[in-house]
Chain A
Amino acid sequence: MEKGTSAFETWLREIQEEVAKRELPDALRTVAEEILKRYGTRIWFAEILGKRWSYITGCGGEDPLPLRQIPLTSRFGLVAEKWECIPPLEGEAILAFLREFLAQTGTSSAKSEG
C-alpha cells in the first residue's frame, strides 16, 4: 500500500519533534537523512549568498543528476536530486515546515558541518 496521508503526518510530526531538539546544522541533517530514508530523494541545504549557494549539510550524492534548487527563505535554500519522487502534497508540506523552522531559527549566518 502507498504511504497514506496519516502516515506522512505522523512521520513529519516526529521529524518536527526531533528537529526542535537540535541546533541548526544538525537539525537540517536530520531532515535530509529522513527524506532520503523515506523517499530515496537526496537533498542538501545551502546558505544563499548572492550567486553562491554555500553548503551547510545534507545527503548530497556523488552522481550527476538534474537538480532542483528551492529557496526556502532569503537566506537558505534546498537542493534536491529526484525531488519528483516525493508526492507533490507531501513535498509542499515538507517545504512549509522547513520554511517555518528556518524563519524561526535560521536568521543568522549558518556554519557548515565539518
Chain B
Amino acid sequence: MLTRDVPRNVREWMQSIIREEEINRYLVNGRDFINDEEIEELLRKYRNPEPQRVRDIIAKSLALERLEPEETATLLNVEDEELWEEIFQAAGEVKRKVYGDRIVTFAPLYCSNFCVNNCLYCGFRRDNHLQQRRRLTIEEVRREAEALVSMGHKRLIMVYGEHPLSDVDYIARTIQTVYETKVGNGEIRRVNVNAAPMDIARLRVLKEVGIGTFQVFQETYHHETYRKVHPEGTLKAHYRWRLYALHRAQEAGIDDVAIGALFGLYDWKFEVMGLLYHTIDLERHFGGVGPHTISFPRLEPAINTPFVQETQYKVSDRDFKRLVAVIRLSVPYTGMIITAREPAHIRREVIPVGCTQTDASTRIGIGAYSDRYTEQDLKRQQFQIGDPRSLDEVVRELAEMGYITSFCTADYRCGRTGKYFMGIAKKGKIHHFCMPNAILTFKEYLIDYASPETRSVGERLIEQKFAELDEALKPLVREYLERIERGERDLRI
C-alpha cells in the first residue's frame, strides 16, 4: 500500500488531487464524450417515433445488443401508453434473460460525512452547518460491520465524503477492517466503494485491498447544470475529473466500475443519454468492458437543502419507471441498482422492469447500524431514505414476488471479473452462474438469519427455482444444498 504524508491542511490536500494529464489523454480534439448539443438534437430529431421503429429497437434489445444513441433517443420519445407497456415487458424479459429472477442485495455503510465540496443538492455539503460531522473510527467501522453481518449481509457499498479525513488510506483501512470482521458463519464477502474521483496512484491503493466495484456517479451529464450545482473552487466543480474517474479506475486495474446519474438535477431524458454515452466510451477504451452497474437515484430531501424543493427537474414516478426500463433496454448486460431512496411501493413497481440489485435494512446516518436507532436522523444523513424496512422484510417481499434474494459474491472471488464477466453477461449467459449461486446463498441466509415466516416463503421459492434450473446442474446444486443444510457454507459454482 502506498503511504502518504498527511496533508497539513485541507487546501493543500485539495491541490494534490486533480491531475490534468490523467484527463487530457482521453479528450478528442479537446472535447469530452458528452456533446450536449448532439444529445439535445437527437432527443429533438427522434420525437414521435413510428411504433414499428420502436418495436425494432425493442427486438434489438431482446437480442441483448447494446443500443446506439439514436435508438435510445427514440425510446425516450415514446408517448403511446401501449408502447410503453411493451417496453416494460421487454425490459423485464431482458433482465430475466441476462440475470434470471434474482436480486442481489447489499447494504450501504456510510463512514464519514466530512466533505470539502459544496454541492447545492447534498446534505453533506461543506456549508451545511446543520449537518453533524462525524468520521467513524476503525473500531466503530468494525462495530458497524458486525451489526450488518449479524443481519445476514454479505455485500456492502461503503460511502465516504471527499475530505482529507477520509482520504484513500482511511478508505483502505476501513475496507480491510470490514473484510476482517466475522460473526459466527457470517462475513462480508464483497465491499464496493462509492467515493470521490481519485488519481491512478490512489486508485491502485483501493485495488490492493480487493474492492469489488468502484462507483462514481456523474450526478448530471449536462455541462451547464453541472457547473451551476457544483460551485466553482471546489474539487467537484471539475466536470471532466469526475467524468473520467472510471477510466482511471480501469487504468489502475479496477475492472468493475459503476456509473450513475442523480435524477432531478436536469432533464431525465438527457441524463439517460449521458449514461449511454458514458457506457459507450468505457466500452471503446477498455476492450468492450462497460459499466458493471448503472444507478439512477432520484433527488431526495436533505436537511437545510432547499435546492431539492426548488428544482424544476424532479422526476415523476411515471417517468422514473420509464427511465429505468429504457436504461435496461439500452445496456442489456449491465447490473442496475434501485436503492432505498425509493419507497417500498415504487421498488415493487420498478424492480420488474429491469433492476438487478437493491439495498435493504438501509441506514445512512454515520454510525447508524451499531447505534441501532430506528428513526431517520437527517442531521447525520446525506438525504432522506424512502424504505427503511429490515433485510428480512425485503427478502420476504421479494420472495413473494418470485425473486430469489442473492447474496452471491462468487464471480469476484474466482476471477470472473472485468472482461471475463462482461463477455458472459453480454451473451446472456451469466444467469447460468447467477441462479445456482443465488439459490445457494439464499439457502444460507434462510438457515442462518431468516424469520420463520421468511424461511417458509423462501424454501418454497428455492424448490420452484431449483425446478427451473438446467437438468445438468441439478445434481450439483442439490448436493450443495444438502451440504449447506449440514452446516457447510460458501459453496459456489
Task: Give the B-binding residues of A (Cβ under 8 A).
Answer: 44-47, 49-56, 58, 60, 62-67, 69, 77, 79, 109-114
Contacts and interface: CB of A to CB of B under 8 A. Distances in A.
Contacts of A77: 415
A47 B412 CA distance: 11
Contacts of B409: 51
A114 B286 contact: yes
Interface of B: 176, 179, 189-190, 204, 207-212, 253, 255, 286-289, 409, 412-421, 423-424, 427, 429, 432-433, 436, 473, 476, 492-493
Given A63-B432, A64-B433, A52 B418 contact: no
29 contacts: A47-B253, A49-B208, A49-B209, A50-B210, A51-B179, A51-B190, A51-B210, A51-B409, A51-B413, A52-B417, A54-B418, A55-B255, A55-B417, A56-B415, A60-B415, A62-B432, A63-B432, A64-B493, A66-B493, A67-B492, A67-B493, A69-B414, A110-B253, A111-B253, A112-B255, A112-B418, A113-B419, A114-B286, A114-B288
A22 B206 CA distance: 29
A41 to B, nearest CB: 15
Contact of B210 (A52, A66, A111): A52
A107 to B, nearest CB: 14
A46 B411 CA distance: 12
A65 B253 contact: no
A46 B409 CA distance: 16
A68 B352 CA distance: 35
A81 B179 CA distance: 27
Contact of A67 (B176, B414, B473): B414
A112 B208 CA distance: 15
A109 B429 CA distance: 30
Nearest to A69: B414
A53 B412 contact: yes
Given A44-B420, A53-B415, 13 more contacts: A50-B210, A51-B412, A51-B413, A52-B190, A53-B412, A54-B415, A55-B417, A56-B415, A64-B432, A79-B414, A79-B415, A114-B287, A114-B289
A20 B409 CA distance: 35
A62 B253 contact: no
Given A64-B432, A113-B287, A49 B415 contact: no
Contact of A52 (B413, B423, B432): B413
A63 B288 CA distance: 21
A58 B417 CA distance: 12
A20 to B, nearest CB: 24
A52 B289 contact: no
A57 to B, nearest CB: 9
Contacts of B427: 62
A60 B418 contact: no
Given A51-B210, A54-B255, A114-B286, A109 B415 contact: no
A50 B209 contact: yes
Contacts of A63: 432
Contact of A55 (B207, B209, B418, B492): B418
A16 to B, nearest CB: 23
Contacts of B288: 114
Contacts of B423: 62
Contacts of A58: 415, 420
A46 B180 CA distance: 21
A49 B287 contact: no
Given A50-B210, A114-B289, A65 B493 contact: yes
A84 to B, nearest CB: 14
A26 B209 CA distance: 25
B155 to A, nearest CB: 11
A62 to B, nearest CB: 5
A64, A66, A114 interface centre (most CB from chain B within 10 Å): A64
A10 B423 CA distance: 34
Contacts of B179: 50-51
B196 to A, nearest CB: 21
A3 B473 CA distance: 31
A66 B409 CA distance: 15
Contact of B415 (A46, A64, A111): A46
A58 B208 CA distance: 21
Contacts of B432: 62-64
B476 A109 contact: no
Question: 8 smallest A-B Cβ distances: which pairs?
Answer: A50-B210, A114-B287, A46-B415, A52-B210, A49-B210, A53-B415, A64-B493, A114-B419
Given A51-B190, A62-B424, A65-B493, A45 B415 contact: yes
A54 B253 CA distance: 9
Contacts of B421: 55
Nearest to A113: B419
Contacts of B493: 64-67
A109 to B, nearest CB: 6
Given A62-B429, A63-B432, A52 B212 contact: yes
Given A44-B415, A67-B414, A114-B289, A60 B420 contact: yes
A66 B419 contact: no
A55 B429 contact: no
B179, B211, B413, B429 interface centre (most CB from chain A within 10 Å): B413
A47 B473 CA distance: 28
Contacts of A47: 253
B325 to A, nearest CB: 27
